[in-house]
Structure 1
Amino acid sequence: MNVRAWPRSLTTRLALLFALLTATLLLVVVLVQGSAVESHMRELDDHELTGKVTLIKNVLHDAEPSASLSRRLDDAFIGHDMLAVVLRDAEGSVVYALRPEFFGERQLAADSVLDVTTTWEKGGEKGGEKGSDESSKQYLGLETLVEALDSGSRPTRLRALVGLDVSHHLRFLEEVRKRLWIDIFFAAIIAALFAWFAAHRGLAPLRRVTATARGLSAECLGERLPERDAPNEVRDLVIAFNGMLERLESSFRRLSDFSADIAHELRTPVSNLMTQTEVALSHTRSPDEYRDVLASNLEEYERIARMVSDMLFLAQAENGHLLHSSEAVNLADEARALIDFYEALAEEKGVQIVLAGEASITADRSMMRRALSNLLSNALRHTPSGSIVEISISSQACLAMLAVKNHGDTIPSDQLARIFERFHRASPERHRHGEGAGLGLAITRSIVEAHGGQLKVTSAAGVTTFTLHLPLV
């Protein structure tokens, strides 16, 4: 069957398939039941025909010898309008005949086989009150030997040919078949209508998915499909579709926030560059003054370059293009090297850095040093004067853990989940502590995840702790 010939509508397909299945099942039932009814009718006709033969035998056996054969049989067959009987003697002469017109020439032949049931058909005759032309009739016949007493009270053997009109049974079966075919036709139509209605109602969630998908845009991603009234077969699709909308909305929101943040972050250095350049060009200056303006502009250019470089690094990490080498890295040695690097800044702020523990991992040394540097500079930026920044290294099972703990402002719990997002700062107070663009923690998390680890943060009672979980060597 050509698949293209089927309608494109799934509802119509289900309705047609259900109607075809219903018609097929009803047809099988009709055929089975029709065969059973026809077999039962045939058994009834055979039983009645055998009973008529038995009746003839009983009449001939029990009748008084003085009574004539014809009179005894006529009395016995009163009311048997569907019965035909022909009795013949040994020479083939007809001794008794009742409705012999029922029989055909083949049935009246002298060489008919005995005790074998036969069927035949004869053309209709004009009859009835209205003189309608009846259809041909069906007969069931049986020929056998019976014993009778002749006029001398001597037993004699006769050939009895008994015929039975079974046309009324056949007409009944034909009418039943016609009615059943009509019933099958209307049942298939009704089944198709019910199937179409059920499929139409059942596929309503799919239509809602389509309508929702048509109305989606970057400005309208908040719609969700109801999951309660969805059928079990479609509920997984509805859940997946709602999950997709949730992810799209979250991605678009982050993209929108990212665009706004990057525009805000770039606006300041670009504005500074334009202002300084306009001031420098407002009137003639000495070479030293121009040199100072260029040096100030260079600082802004370096800030923009760092921001672009960090954004490119994050883009490579998110797309799985962050290449790194693998070598044994001692976390304690890297931490001590960074402590030496930040020692002057720590002394300037009056902050002490303490290191404890040791563990080795397999990682890219430059990337891991960058991640640790981001955490340590972040801790120094937000630690008040006279406090301590603690770096503790430990190992457990197959993981190495490096924790950087500092005292300062507590990060609100609703901000902890977003603290690793680009350009995100937990509070305006933390924003004022430095000139960072808010990409350091996002870069640190990307580096840790690229090495198969996790970065976690806790903040309570003025103590904030960032913990790296990395596989051991």
Structure 2
Amino acid sequence: MIQRLTLTARLTFLYTLVSAAVLLGLGVLVAWSTHLHFIDLDRDYLLDKVHLIERIVDETPEPTELSTKLDELLDSHHGLFISLTRGDEQLFGPGRITFPAELAKRSAADQPMDWADGGRPLRGMSTELSAAQMPGGVTSPGQSMRLTLALDTQHHTHFMQMLRQQLAIYVVLATLLSGLLGWWAARSGLAPLRTMKERALRVTAHKLDERMPIDAVPVEMAELANSLNTMLERLQQDFAKLMEFSSDIAHELRTPISNLLTQTQVSLSQHRDPDTYRDILAANAEELQRLARMVSDMLFLAKTDHGIQLPNREHVALEDEVTSLVDFYDAVAEDKELRLRVLGAGTVVGDRLMIRRAISNLLSNALRYAHPRTDVELTVEHHRDGTNLCVTNTGDPIDAVDLPRLFDRFYRVDKARTHPSSDGAGLGLAITKAIMLAHGGSASVTSATGTTRFCLQFPGPQGPR
């Protein structure tokens, strides 16, 4: 039931419950302490009367005179009852109350005994008076007297009833007041949360710049507000990337689809010979292959967003993979009058096909943008913290503003989004970065004075754990 209440109601309920328990315990403590105090007062009062009666008995040898003095004592002490016996003989004791038999078994040093007689609350004690200390007449040698006293505690009982009623009323009123104050304190204390809630409600897909107040909230909530702000910052960045990604996808898919549609419509507009249809189908097949590669690349990147496991983990000699790729791209390099150079050696742990794809992306990119009659170097450097593979080419420098975004999806430095010698979709470097992240490494780029250098940083010799 309490789980369905608001946080303010929960705090108010718990605070009221704790206040009620504390106040109730305090009320019980006050009532019980008052009760014990009355017992101590009555005990001292009865002991004082025991000493007084002992002195009267010592000073009065005649039973008749003793009775008279005891009557006078009772007349001056309202609510006091006395019983004086000698053996089975009752020397004094008006029959207004009945003393319980077990009272005679209690010592005067004990706490007084409580009982009720005819609805009247009584408290009394009993003690034995030694005959050796008394003159003759009242007792005989070897005899003793038993003195039993009782005190009417009606006034105490009435006071305790009034005290319990007043304490009960106080506990109820104080509990209600504590609950009201607890509700006010909880509502005031949770005001920053309501402010954060209002800020969160204003966050929409088109308004992600709202942030939680940090300076205006208590220290305990500042960490929560900071975490929410960090989350909103990530969401804003990811949403911006998603919007850009969606726009890039639409742009990249529009061109091949438009080409396919235009060529198909033109071919259907009039009858053509088989060779013409064959050429149109071949052109369409090239566009479809480009679309298939793009979809495959986007699917790979979508998988990397959720984390991918390496299909195979093995020791890969980078110099062997680089040499194999250099042989594959040698014809392309000759056409552009480029020289390929391989330097260094090193071994890493990872998936051979994924590593080859990352290197191939960098090498094809270097061949595409390198100036004719220049060198393209592939350097493998092994050091204590890991292994680096760098591809360096000489060409047009890349603006420093574009460098941080080169590994973004569909991003191209040339604003026209196309390159005369490229049919790519701008996903190669993004795939390279994703492959390196899957291997626990990273990818970086530098460009200055016409020299562009892409590097793959692999972790230590044992590879990622």
Range class of TM-score, shorter chain: 0.7 to 0.9
Provide the secondary structure at the position in 2 that maps to 1:389. strand
2:17 pairs, out of 4, 15, 20, with 20
Amino acid at match of 1:186: L
Matches within 5 A, 1:181-192: 181-192=168-179
* Separation in structure 1 between the aligned mates of residue 361 and residue 105 of structure 2, nearest angstrom: 114
* Separation in structure 1 between the aligned mates of residue 273 and residue 364 of structure 2, nearest angstrom: 39
Amino acid at match of 2:53: I
1:269 pairs, out of 229, 251, 256, with 256
Q: CA RMSD in A?
A: 4.3
Matches within 5 A, 1:148-187: 160-187=147-174
Q: State the match for 1:437 in structure 2.
A: 425
CA distance 1:55–1:178, change in 2 (3 Å): same
Q: State the match for 1:458 in structure 2.
A: 446
Matches within 5 A, 1:334-345: 334-345=321-332
Displacement of 1:438: 0.7
Q: TM-score, normalised by structure 1?
A: 0.76
Structure 2: where are the runs of 5+ without partners? Answer: none
Displacement of 1:311: 2.1
* Separation in structure 2 between the aligned mates of residue 118 and residue 255 of structure 1, nearest angstrom: 88
Q: State the match for 1:53 in structure 2.
A: 50
Preserved contact between residue 415 and residue 426 of structure 1 (Cα < 8 Å): yes
* Separation in structure 1 between the aligned mates of residue 175 and residue 453 of structure 2, nearest angstrom: 72
Preserved contact between residue 106 and residue 125 of structure 2 (Cα < 8 Å): no
1:35 pairs, out of 21, 32, 37, with 32
* Separation in structure 2 between the aligned mates of residue 168 and residue 415 of structure 1, nearest angstrom: 97
CA distance 1:323–1:260, change in 2 (3 Å): same
Matches within 5 A, 1:57-456: 57-59=54-56, 61=58, 80-85=77-82, 92=89, 100=94, 103-106=96-99, 117-122=112-117, 136-142=120-126, 144-145=128-129, 160-204=147-191, 217-230=204-217, 237-277=224-264, 293-320=280-307, 324-385=311-372, 387-397=374-384, 399-413=386-400, 415-426=402-413, 428=415, 432=419, 434-435=421-422, 436-456=424-444
CA distance 1:148–1:10, change in 2 (3 Å): same
Amino acid at match of 1:140: G
Between 439-448 and 297-306, the greater mean CA deviation after superposition: 297-306
Provide the secondary structure at the position in 2 that maps to 1:218. coil
Displacement of 1:339: 3.0
* Separation in structure 1 between the aligned mates of residue 61 and residue 362 of structure 2, nearest angstrom: 131
Q: TM-score, normalised by structure 2?
A: 0.78
Preserved contact between residue 391 and residue 455 of structure 2 (Cα < 8 Å): yes
Amino acid at match of 1:469: Q
Displacement of 1:47: 0.9
Displacement of 1:331: 2.0
Provide the secondary structure at the position in 2 that maps to 1:424. coil
Deviations 1:375-421 (Å, cap 9, x if unpaired)?
A: 01212333334543322111123622101123445545554443222
Q: State the match for 1:131 in structure 2.
A: none
Provide the secondary structure at the position in 1 that maps to 2:151. strand
Between 140-149 and 404-413, the greater mean CA deviation after superposition: 140-149
CA distance 1:434–1:262, change in 2 (3 Å): farther
Deviations 1:49-73 (Å, cap 9, x if unpaired)?
A: 11122223345556899xx667866
Provide the secondary structure at the position in 1 that maps to 2:296. helix
Provide the secondary structure at the position in 2 that maps to 1:458. strand
* Separation in structure 1 between the aligned mates of residue 88 and residue 270 of structure 2, nearest angstrom: 155
Displacement of 1:237: 4.8
Displacement of 1:266: 1.9
CA distance 1:163–1:319, change in 2 (3 Å): closer
CA distance 1:214–1:58, change in 2 (3 Å): same
CA distance 1:5–1:224, change in 2 (3 Å): closer
Preserved contact between residue 368 and residue 447 of structure 1 (Cα < 8 Å): yes
Task: Give aligned pairs, total.
Answer: 452
* Separation in structure 1 between the aligned mates of residue 267 and residue 276 of structure 2, nearest angstrom: 8
* Separation in structure 2 between the aligned mates of residue 90 and residue 316 of structure 1, nearest angstrom: 107
Amino acid at match of 2:155: H
* Separation in structure 2 between the aligned mates of residue 93 and residue 294 of structure 1, nearest angstrom: 137
Preserved contact between residue 139 and residue 167 of structure 1 (Cα < 8 Å): no
* Separation in structure 1 between the aligned mates of residue 158 and residue 72 of structure 2, nearest angstrom: 30
Preserved contact between residue 269 and residue 300 of structure 1 (Cα < 8 Å): yes
Amino acid at match of 1:104: I
* Separation in structure 2 between the aligned mates of residue 64 and residue 164 of structure 1, nearest angstrom: 26
* Separation in structure 2 between the aligned mates of residue 114 and residue 404 of structure 1, nearest angstrom: 107
Displacement of 1:206: 5.4
Structure 1: where are the runs of 5+ without partners? Answer: 125-135
Provide the secondary structure at the position in 2 that maps to 1:195. helix
Between 7-16 and 427-436, the greater mean CA deviation after superposition: 427-436
Deviations 1:226-269 (Å, cap 9, x if unpaired)?
A: 34455566555545444444443333322221111011112223
Q: State the match for 1:128 in structure 2.
A: none
Displacement of 1:182: 1.9
% identity of equivalent residues: 40
Provide the secondary structure at the position in 2 that maps to 1:342. helix
Amino acid at match of 1:444: T
Displacement of 1:45: 0.9
* Separation in structure 1 between the aligned mates of residue 167 and residue 418 of structure 2, nearest angstrom: 85
Preserved contact between residue 59 and residue 76 of structure 1 (Cα < 8 Å): no
* Separation in structure 2 between the aligned mates of residue 183 and residue 196 of structure 1, nearest angstrom: 20
CA distance 1:377–1:160, change in 2 (3 Å): closer
